Structure 1
Amino acid sequence: MKKPILGKQTFLPENTERLQAFENFMAKNYSYDFDSRPLYTGRYFIILDEKQPFSNISELLRNNMGLSVASSNDFRNEPITEAKLADADVLFYNELGIALVGGDSEQIKILEETSDRGFYLEPEKIVYVPDEVPSVISAPQATWGIMQTKSDISNYTGKDVKIAVLDTGFDYEHPDFIGRNIQTYSFVPDEEVDDLHGHGTHCIGTACGNTNDTGVRYGVAKDSAIYAGKVLNNEGSGAQAWIVNGMDWAANNGCKVISMSLGSPIFPGQGYDPVYEKTGMNALSKGAVVVAAAGNESRRAWNQFNPVGSPANCPSVLAVAALDSGNNLANFSNRHINPYGEVDIACAGVDIYSSWPMPMGYRTISGTSMATPHVAGILALLWEKYPSASPYEIISELKRISQKLPLPAMDIGSGFAVAP
């Protein structure tokens, strides 16, 4: 599989008008820098119509276009990574009914012109750590999220529940996690799972951590099993296929929670991504609840509101908004604007203290990225309490016991997530 060029933007002609509208919106409202944060990798996903077999396009790809094809069926007992795909131009995700194609512009044009064969194309997104919120080294309310979610007084600890955090990796030698059940895997080409960014270690600390070196509690599901999937590089960005591969790995390993504090920006009127939705539904079918950050593009103080980002806007994914310690909406937290792009729940996301790669050890930052692992940890506590429940029953219970607040559902969903 040809590696994505994260600085390259290629678009189908039919998407030009939509792209221009999005760029105008982002530039006007958020001064979005498309040069430093491009939207797409230059590769495309082929989305098959329902019940269409891959054989319908296999001949086109192999014979007419001369593309080398690989299949997810070749990876039944191991994770899918681009390094294992050698020189393949196409990867069939057989369970999902999608394929990733990395051909040149002429080959993509051929696909576009023959899309009446029961498929359509979507550009592969570049995914980012969504947090550009000012941070400090420490804060007086370092553990307020643990107390306000009631995780510190819960009878449950997420014991042996598998939580996958898909992010920038993990400092698996951090002293707070010695002796924990930890599985790691990197889906980023040419990078080990070690977290040289920090964001992933912070999120894992909130979802799965316990206490710091002085005994201060900062983690929710302190006895959970940790699955750290590196799907974003050390600069905090990655290709959409890396996230899809990470979700597939987590679901196939029996993770009951998949937490993703990452995303791509969405403009008003844009729908959810069918690739993420197919992957999310596949994870649900295997017993996992998927949760993701709603995004940080809003500027509420200036009366600017942005829609829930991707993949959090998918129906199969729980979108998490951020609140501060006074139960006020975070200035940056996105809201339900687009169809299907609901906010499902809210949690602590401002001035959140958690683990950070050594030698710093700890850091306090803000974002819907910080609210998301709080919810992921709480989901693990619910799975411990109700081990025979379905993902849909766990989601229903999460929403039922949430703290109701006098805030719009379009901003906080069912309320503030609390532990059972």
Structure 2
Amino acid sequence: MKRPEFGSLPFNKQSTTPTNTDSQANKKNEQETVTDKPLYTGRYLIKLIDGQDCRVVRKVLESKLGFKVACSDDFKDIAITEFGIENSDALIYKDLGIALIDGEEQQIKRIQSATTNFIIEPEKIVYLPGDIQGVPDISSTWGLRATKVIHSNFTGKGVKVAVLDTGLDLQHPDFTGRQIHAESFVPNEAVEDLHGHGTHCIGTACGKTDINHKRYGIASDSVIYAGKVLSNQGSGAQSWILNAITWAVKNGCKVISMSLGSKVFPGQSYDLAYERVAQYALSKGCIIVAAAGNDSIRSQNVFAPVGSPADCPSILAVAAIDPDFNVADFSNRSINPTGKIAIAAPGVMVLSSWPMPKRYNTISGTSMATPHVAGILALLWEKHPNATPQQIIEKLKAKAKNISLQSIDVGVGLTIAP
């Protein structure tokens, strides 16, 4: 199967966005140019409308087009990667009712004419949300105080937490001695994080303390699953996300944190492939949280809808608030009927780990809010190990603090640790 070629797309906004007074002007420029970025990989996803029986799709692909078809069942003991399917023309995700195909336009038309039981859509390119640099200060760990993490008796001990992002600096001294499982789903790139975003998100969700013993992590005794699904330039393919979620679920992760996404336009519905894999995760005892996106400029009355995959009904979309408990200027809003903010978390001026030698960085974004919720979910799973995902979600929402803001902006309110 042809691998999508987009790893060199420039999307490292962290290194290009100035701080302080210039950040909003640059944010406006980014808002205006985001649609110039490629939206699709050139491959397609077949999504069954009714049920999850892929035999009809497989028959069409093999008999009518002569495709060599791989199946998720072929990867029982290993993760699905681009390398593993490179000799195939299509991959069927049996448990999801979805197939990834690499075909010409005429072949796609032949598939579409074979049956009406499925839809075919282009595979999306996924990007980092474009987080904003900040200047470190004494308030950089304010989020742990605001969410009452520092008063919690729980550490997420033994709970498996997956963070799907740009990987992890495996040599980072703050993670010495931790139980870490790492897998790269990005072709020709190791799991080592040469970007920084993934190491920062993992630090918030699962880290401990910095070199000065200042705490910045939440689930400090959790088991870390670092899935690299975005390249060192900050972009990835939709199927890499599906592969990584499947990997995390198969390995018993109870929480999956995704600070990534694709732009969603007003009136656009959620992506069925993401919703299917989120339902699959829930059925196996795993909760997915995702960043709502940073496409708004609220100070200029620009409100963008929740991005994909956070807009799926079975995924918890996380908004960002600042130290004054206001909605972050960039945080997206519940605009579309199917994209609802579930909860809010600290997402402005957040200190966390960063690849060496820098070691730490303070940045802002819904990307930073999302691992706050993921870490707190791990604490809840430790406290209630026999609960169902729905029960854990109910406890998360019931514990949330009302901060007197609209639900379309912060959902049930500010996430609070048990």
1:28-177 pair list within 5 angstroms? 30-35=31-36, 37-51=37-51, 53-116=53-116, 118-133=117-132, 135-136=133-134, 138-177=136-175
Distance 1:137 1:93 in 2: 44
What amino acid is the match of 2:75? F
CA contact (8 A) 1:46 1:121 kept: yes
SS in structure 1 of the partner of residue 396 of structure 2? helix
Partner of 1:11: none
Partner of 1:3: 3
Partner of 2:359: 361
- CA apart distance, 1:108: 1.6
Identity %: 56
CA contact (8 A) 1:323 1:349 kept: yes
- CA apart distance, 1:78: 1.2
TM-score (normalised: structure 1): 0.92
1:235 aligns with 2:236: no
Distance 2:58 2:377 in 1: 41
TM-score (normalised: structure 2): 0.93
- CA apart distance, 1:48: 1.2
- CA apart distance, 1:374: 0.4
1:3-402 pair list within 5 angstroms? 3-6=3-6, 30-35=31-36, 37-51=37-51, 53-116=53-116, 118-133=117-132, 135-136=133-134, 138-402=136-400
CA contact (8 A) 1:7 1:41 kept: no
Runs of 4+ in structure 1 off by over 4 angstroms are none
Distance 2:67 2:105 in 1: 13
Distance 2:7 2:265 in 1: 21
Distance 1:217 1:76 in 2: 38
Instruction: From the superposition, tell whether residues 105 and 6 of structure 1 become closer, same or farther in structure 2 (CA, over 3 Å).
Output: farther
- CA apart distance, 1:173: 1.0
- CA apart distance, 1:28: 11
What amino acid is the match of 1:322? A
Instruction: From the superposition, tell whether residues 390 and 52 of structure 1 become closer, same or farther in structure 2 (CA, over 3 Å).
Output: closer
Distance 1:329 1:33 in 2: 22
What amino acid is the match of 1:91? L
SS in structure 2 of the partner of residue 280 of structure 1? helix
- CA apart distance, 1:7: 8.5
SS in structure 1 of the partner of residue 341 of structure 2? coil
What amino acid is the match of 2:174? D
- CA apart distance, 1:30: 3.0
CA contact (8 A) 2:317 2:341 kept: yes
CA contact (8 A) 2:218 2:372 kept: yes
- CA apart distance, 1:259: 0.3
- CA apart distance, 1:49: 2.4
CA contact (8 A) 1:29 1:304 kept: no
- CA apart distance, 1:52: 5.6
Distance 1:335 1:132 in 2: 17
Equivalences, count: 399
Distance 1:185 1:29 in 2: 31
Instruction: From the superposition, tell whether residues 52 and 94 of structure 1 become closer, same or farther in structure 2 (CA, over 3 Å).
Output: closer
Partner of 2:22: none
What amino acid is the match of 1:32? T
- CA apart distance, 1:406: 0.8
CA contact (8 A) 2:189 2:231 kept: yes
SS in structure 2 of the partner of residue 31 of structure 1? helix
SS in structure 1 of the partner of residue 56 of structure 2? helix
- Spell out, residue by residue over 1:71-130, the C-alpha distance to the aligned partner (whole angstroms, 9 max, x if none): 1010011111110113211000001010000112221222233342x1111111100110
Distance 1:378 1:132 in 2: 22
What amino acid is the match of 2:358? M
What amino acid is the match of 2:238? Q
